[in-house]
Amino acid sequence: MKTQDIFLEFKISQDNLAQEKEKVLNQIEENKKTIEKLLKIENKTYQNFVKPYQLIHERLNWYFKPIAHLNYVKNSKLTQEVYTQLLPVLTTYYTELGQNQQLYQAFKHIYNTQKDSLTQAQKKVLEDLITDFELNGVNLAKEKKEKLKNINIQLSNLQNQFAQNLLDATDNYEMLIENYEDIKELPQEEKNRAKTKKGEKTVYRFTLHAPSYISYMTYGSNREKRQQLYKAYVTRASQNEKILEQILKLRHEKANLLGFKNYAELSLKKKMASSPEEVLSFLKELAKKSKPKAEEEFQQLKEFAKKHGLNDEFQAYDLSYYTEKLKKETLNINEEEFKPYFEKNKVIEGLFEFLNKLFKLQFKKVNTSVWHEKVDVYDLYKNDKLIGRLYMDLEAREGKRDGAWMDEWVTHCTDEECNTILPIAFIVANFSPSTEELPSLLRHYDVVTLFHEMGHALHHLLSEVEEPFVSGISGVEWDAVEFPSQFLENFAYDKEVLSLFAKHYKTGEPLPKDKIEKLQKLRNFLSGMAMVRQLEFALFDLLIHMDSYTAEEVQDILNKVREEVAVIKPPPYNKFQWSFSHIFAGGYAAGYYSYKWAEVLSADAYFMFIDNGIYNDELADSFYEEILKKGGSKPAKEIFYSFAKRQPDINAILRLSGITNEKNDN
């Protein structure tokens, strides 16, 4: 067996988008012809039918993913146009494919007659395919199939429009401040980044992009300006109100067509959780155990704010500002004091060193074509053997979608000749941009984010599964896909790990021990409030997918959820749902609970390392072998059990959050 050690190169740009679009369209037509040929095979087997079926779709991904990626990281009218043109074509193709009765019967026949001779991964491919066909309406009557296809196309377009509206609204807003008194509390680096000219005047510019928005909400002295910025942020993309209403209506129709009571049931069909009721019970149990601590923390915060001059009622736009001040006073922590110790490139080097110590991985920087000059590319090795490639695009800029994410481009697998195809992944973030005067300095939160996304990337890149449909993160249940990422992010607080990279960018001085202790205390600072906030999002997401709701009813559900679990009530104008892209433009619809569900797995695994030594080769090898290498080739419950030799313990998440100190609180 040979390894393909020549990677695809990212050569797509604004100049050749039309040609790249044609490649996608041509590959779709080529795929259709190949499928016709496959269906004519008389004696269909896994190798002559299922394997080539997977590979033609992997190749289609090779062409389409860079176009989608460019639209996210270097958005323009042209990328929007090409991406928007391709979406309905791809949706139609995949919907028609998923409703092809001949394919469905062929996969069922191979599974039923040959499963005893198949590997675990091959069986999982077929089981997932059969379920997918059924969820795509393969058994529906002709007119219902057509209706489902139209729903899928509409949903694809609406979700894309939701994301584009949000990006446009984020890009199109600015708040200019002339009075130095209003920005006097900002750290000097933040002042420098915000400083600009308006004619002859020096002004300070703030936007809705994360680094800028967070900066003013955390340090802005002028409460009215904080409210102004907050209001702009939570009322972004008002046109998304009608879009989310349409999305919910279509999702409900789709679920009903497929025989489910609601979209929540449909969403959970391919997740670890078995029913909406199980998820609701899980979330409410966490809320019950967490809310008392959250209420206690909020009372402390309100009393602190009052003591420091806030005579009015505490509002959502006061939260970051007084939280930062409370941190400084009670923990003697100023988050800005950490930033000089977290220079982006040093953090990356330290993260690589940690992964070498933990999993014996090596990263080597390579020169290859990229979409922006600040993108870095690394080849990944295990025991000096090349196993994958990673692109890292970490700094904020206009035209780039907010947030942080990992995306896969090429999946580890073997081709028709049994040659190994090596995987490629992207990590994207929006950290403070470097300038000629100043490197990119990260908040510790950014460091945690980088570790998190690296966990996703490793899950994708370290797979040794030969079947692309269940390799890497493919085929992993959505409520388990955050497991490796959350597991890895926990180490960003550990003193042994921090010692590898937390060094002052000017002096090289390591982060002092007292500061490391502060960070560890900071981890669970107001952790009850953080927990109930995530539970608020998760409950809201699940409940609005239990039926078809109007925008007004969606707001009512959100209000009721806040009454039940939230401790800080936002003002009535807050329309958080207009920008909840995770569920209206991403893959988390009726699945936002997955973060907490997976956090039980990740916290449990993390404490196995903490309680037995971080660099425990036996544990690390088991995590590598049973979880990272196996990808989606087995159900997540089985994969976790293979690693831990027991079921996950829900109390691990409460211990991690500092809500309980017990190792077991049963």
Q: Which two tokens stand for residue 290?
A: 């967490």
What angle separates helix 51-73 from helix 77-98, to the nearest 10 degrees? 160
The runs of H, that is alpha helices, within 258-308 are: 263-268, 276-307
Quote the DSSP letter at residue 573: T
Task: Check: CB of residue 499 under 8 Å from CB of residue 510.
Answer: yes
Q: Which two tokens stand for residue 640?
A: 């976790």
**Closest to 219 measured CA to CA, from 323, 302, 311:** 323
Report the length, in residues, of the chain.
666
- CA distance readout (Å), 127 to 109, 111, 132: 12, 8, 9
Catalytic residue, chosen from 343, 453, 467, 482, is 453
Residue tagged 């890497």 (tokens): 472
Residue 662 annotated as catalytic: no
- CA distance readout (Å), 304 to 299, 319, 326, 332, 533: 9, 11, 7, 14, 21
What is the rounded distance in angstroms from the CA atom of residue 612 to the CA atom of residue 333?
Answer: 30
**Closest to 367 measured CA to CA, from 4, 3, 9:** 9
What is the rounded distance in angstroms from the CA atom of residue 147 to the CA atom of residue 140?
Answer: 10
Task: Check: CB of residue 421 under 8 Å from CB of residue 97.
Answer: no
Residue 439, exposed/middle/buried by CB under 10 A (0-12, 13-18, 19+)? middle
**Closest to 122 measured CA to CA, from 135, 133, 107:** 107
Amino acid occupying residue 428: V
Burial 606-629 (b: 16+ CB within 10 A, else e): bbbbeeeebebeebbebbbebbbb
What is the rounded distance in angstroms from the CA atom of residue 481 to the CA atom of residue 630?
Answer: 12
Dihedral sign, CA of 41, 47, 52, 57? positive
Quote the DSSP letter at residue 402: S
- CA distance readout (Å), 263 to 38, 254, 266, 276, 543: 34, 8, 5, 10, 10
Quote the DSSP letter at residue 468: G
Collapsing DSSP states into helix, strand and coil, what is residue 365? strand
**Closest to 639 measured CA to CA, from 479, 408, 476:** 476
Q: Which two tokens stand for residue 109?
A: 């026949």
Collapsing DSSP states into helix, strand and coil, what is residue 410? strand
Task: Check: CB of residue 105 under 8 Å from CB of residue 134.
Answer: no
Tell me which H or E stretch contains 56.
Answer: helix 51-73
Query: Catalytic positions, please?
Result: 453
